């Protein structure tokens, strides 16, 4: 029978309750659907027909929709779901036409981020499905359940649909324990510090007792950075001078732009000199530069080929040229960027078609091989960089690990224009990628200091401005974000994106400094963390054995020793991440 809209909720609810009451799926905790019913949405009234019979809900797609999700049945979930609880959706389904469907539970308003999301292709036989997702915490009516089925014509039958809260995820409980402030502080003490002993000797090599030892940190081993795309070393404008000075006062790491389409906008004319000037400025000012990216399907040159057979040799030549050319200044490279999503990129080009043809893992292995061959004898770190932090990226890295071809470090993007990640998610991402045994770099981190809004990824978003209220929120989150990452033993770098609101990506208020180059509270908070709380500056006297020992943050140091006679000696020492205890012998004249 065809169900008219005014009867849809009651009829469908009765059918669903009938199916649930049969006990096909028993709720572990409690059913979330509550009273009410599903609604059918279509682009046009005759594109789909919904029929309810006692054992199934049937949707017949007569005309596919573009986009496909415009044909769907939707159900609001009235109950609140606490943070960390698992939401489970179970149902049976079949389609004689083998229709694909998307099953999702997502936030009921922007940015519509999903709790669970699954694409399945149905078979003519009934199949049972169980999907589970973790809740970041929702109030009443905070999420909706959807079955989206507008990809192709045909009939989809659904039965015994149940959405349940099955309680706290053990992994979430473990993550919560890891987030406790005392536990976080203990990890920082354990993983970010080492034991340094200064042994003072006189001219005859005997221990000097009571000498004053000053240990002053000059640089972190941990890489605290940002993209430095706005750098113009030759400019004397007040804004540029402030931009450079504020950057250098905070960071020791900088990402420089090697996007192929802008670096070589016309074939055979790469902009070597501009990037060389930027890199040399960084090195001269104690900032470690990184090149980004060498192989990426976006920012593709207009002149570059669209077929892989012609594009692959050009990409290889680019990698083989740039790494040795900048060997004196750049020892970190994002070799590949976002390969997981490249196959569906439009308009297609030589790299995206290469990935379509061969798959992500072989492409990543090939390009990393080019980089390693080009960098023989050069102390390089080659990264794979991606915004995908779920199954696709895990599968890619697992395939690389199986072949013994993992990158030197794993790059994780954390752009949060739509809202900040819960700290539990942040910890779980660290743990998820730590299992590969490689350093984890958070390569692109964005936290805005303006109101949430709809935005375009591909165009500027005018009028998206920083506000005092949102700057305070940004600063509070930045403190928690950096502290948690600094405490995780696998994380070796954090790169912010962008430094200033001026010319920021998408015009977002994402900077640590404003358009007028004045620091935001987040900048001040980071300056305090990086250069005060996580910075070693201590002094003491040597023991009867002529030694002074202390726990210090990994990094570079200036050690000054003054004997009772007033004679002074100074030495420098580098204490890299995770190094064993070090002893520095200083001889007084």
What are the phi and psi torsion angles at 375 (to 5°)? -105, 20
Same domain assignment for residues 286 and 158: no
Same domain assignment for residues 277 and 159: no
Q: Flag whether 549 is in a domain.
A: no
Q: Flag whether 575 is in a domain.
A: no
* Of 523 and 52, more confident: 523
Positive or negative CA dihedral for 458, 463, 466, 467? negative
Task: Give pLDDT, residue 477.
Answer: 98
Task: Give pLDDT, residue 27.
Answer: 30
191 near 485, Cβ under 8 Å?
no
**Domain edge (last residue) among 151, 168, 185:** 168
Q: With 90 as the cut, is the pLDDT of residue 3 above it?
A: no
Task: Give pLDDT, residue 169.
Answer: 80
Its domain, for residue 482, covers 223-532
Q: Locate 140 and state its tokens.
A: 């009443």
574 near 234, Cβ under 8 Å?
no
* Overall number of domains in the chain: 2
CA angle (427, 430, 431) in 5-degree steps = 90
What mean pLDDT comes out for the span 187-203?
97
Same domain assignment for residues 105 and 234: no
Same domain assignment for residues 297 and 363: yes
Same domain assignment for residues 149 and 287: no
Same domain assignment for residues 159 and 248: no
378's enclosing H/E stretch is: none
Same domain assignment for residues 100 and 239: no
Q: Flag whether 313 is in a domain.
A: yes
**Domain edge (last residue) among 105, 140, 168:** 168
* Of 39 and 222, more confident: 222
pLDDT band at 135; cut points 50, 70, 90: confident
What mean pLDDT comes out for the span 22-36?
49
Taking all residues of the chain, what is their mean pLDDT, rounded to a whole number? 92
Percent of the chain with pLDDT over 90: 82
Q: What is the DSSP string of 261-327?
A: HHHTSSTT---HHHHHHHHHHHHHTT-EEEEE-SB-SSS--TTS-SSHHHHHHHHHHHHHHHHHHTT
Q: Flag whether 580 is in a domain.
A: no
β-sheet with 114-121: strand ranges across? 39-41, 72-77, 143-148, 100-107, 114-121
Q: Flag whether 552 is in a domain.
A: no
Q: With 90 as the cut, is the pLDDT of residue 106 above it?
A: yes
Global pTM exceeds 0.85: no
What mean pLDDT comes out for the span 271-296?
98
pLDDT band at 458; cut points 50, 70, 90: confident
Q: With 50 as the cut, is the pLDDT of residue 482 above it?
A: yes
Q: Flag whether 453 is in a domain.
A: yes
What mean pLDDT comes out for the span 285-290?
98
Scanning 326-438, the segments in alpha helix (DSSP H) are: 350-358, 360-374, 391-402, 423-434
Q: Flag whether 184 is in a domain.
A: no
CATH number at residue 346: 3.20.20.80
**Domain edge (last residue) among 168, 195, 210:** 168
Task: Give pLDDT, residue 5.
Answer: 29
Q: Flag whether 213 is in a domain.
A: no
């Amino acid at each position: 029978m065809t169900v008219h809209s005014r009867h849809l909720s009651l009829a469908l609810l009765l059918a669903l309750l009938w199916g649930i009451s049969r006990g096909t799926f028993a709720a572990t905790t409690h059913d979330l659907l509550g009273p009410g019913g599903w609604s059918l949405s279509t682009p046009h009234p005759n594109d789909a027909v919904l029929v309810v019979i006692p054992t199934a809900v049937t949707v017949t797609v007569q005309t596919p929709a573009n986009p496909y999700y415009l044909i769907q049945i939707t159900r609001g979930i009235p109950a609140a779901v606490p943070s960390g609880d698992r939401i489970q959706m179970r149902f049976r389904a079949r389609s004689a036409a083998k229709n694909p469907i998307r099953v999702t539970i997502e936030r009921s308003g922007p940015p519509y981020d999903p709790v669970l999301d699954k694409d399945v292709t149905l078979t003519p036989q009934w199949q049972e499905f169980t999907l589970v997702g973790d809740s970041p915490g929702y109030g009443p009516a905070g999420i909706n359940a959807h079955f989206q089925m507008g990809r192709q014509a045909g009939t989809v039958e659904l039965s015994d649909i149940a959405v349940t809260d099955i309680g706290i995820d053990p992994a979430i409980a473990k993550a919560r324990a890891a987030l406790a402030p005392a536990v976080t502080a203990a990890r920082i003490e354990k993983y970010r510090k080492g034991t340094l002993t200064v042994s003072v000797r006189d001219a005859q090599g005997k221990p000097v007792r009571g000498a004053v030892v000053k240990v002053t940190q000059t640089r972190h081993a941990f890489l605290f950075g940002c993209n430095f795309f706005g750098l113009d070393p030759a400019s004397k404008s007040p804004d540029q001078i402030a931009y450079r000075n504020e950057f250098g006062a905070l960071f020791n790491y900088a990402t420089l732009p090697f996007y192929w389409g802008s670096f070589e906008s016309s074939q055979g004319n790469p902009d070597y000199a501009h990037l060389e000037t930027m890199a040399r400025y960084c090195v001269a000012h104690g900032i470690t530069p990184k090149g980004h990216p060498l192989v990426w399907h976006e920012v593709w040159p207009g002149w570059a080929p669209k077929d892989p057979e012609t594009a692959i040799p050009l990409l290889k030549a680019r990698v083989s040229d740039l790494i040795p050319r900048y060997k004196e200044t750049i020892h970190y490279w994002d070799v590949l960027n976002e390969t997981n999503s490249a196959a569906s990129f439009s308009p297609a080009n030589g790299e995206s078609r290469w990935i379509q043809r061969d798959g992500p893992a072989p492409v990543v292995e090939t390009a990393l091989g080019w980089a390693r061959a080009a960098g023989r004898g050069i102390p390089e770190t080659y990264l794979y960089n991606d915004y995908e932090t779920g199954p696709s990226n895990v599968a890619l890295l697992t395939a690389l690990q199986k072949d013994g071809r993992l990158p030197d470090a794993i790059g994780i993007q954390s752009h949060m224009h739509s809202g900040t990640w819960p700290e539990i998610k942040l910890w779980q991402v660290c743990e998820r990628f730590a299992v590969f045994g490689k350093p984890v770099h958070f390569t692109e981190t964005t936290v805005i200091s303006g109101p949430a809004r709809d935005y375009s990824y591909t165009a500027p978003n005018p009028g998206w401005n920083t506000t005092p209220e949102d700057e305070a929120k940004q600063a509070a989150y930045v403190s928690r974000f950096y502290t948690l990452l600094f405490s995780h033993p696998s994380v070796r770098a954090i790169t912010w994106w962008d430094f200033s609101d001026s010319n920021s990506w998408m015009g977002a208020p994402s900077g640590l400094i404003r358009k007028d180059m004045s620091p935001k509270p987040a900048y001040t908070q980071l300056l305090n963390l990086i250069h005060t709380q996580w910075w070693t500056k201590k002094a003491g006297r040597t023991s009867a054995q002529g030694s002074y020992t202390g726990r210090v943050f990994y990094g570079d140091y200036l050690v000054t020793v003054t004997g009772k006679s007033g004679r002074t000696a100074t030495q420098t020492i580098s204490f890299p991440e995770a190094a064993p205890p070090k002893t520095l012998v200083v001889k007084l004249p």
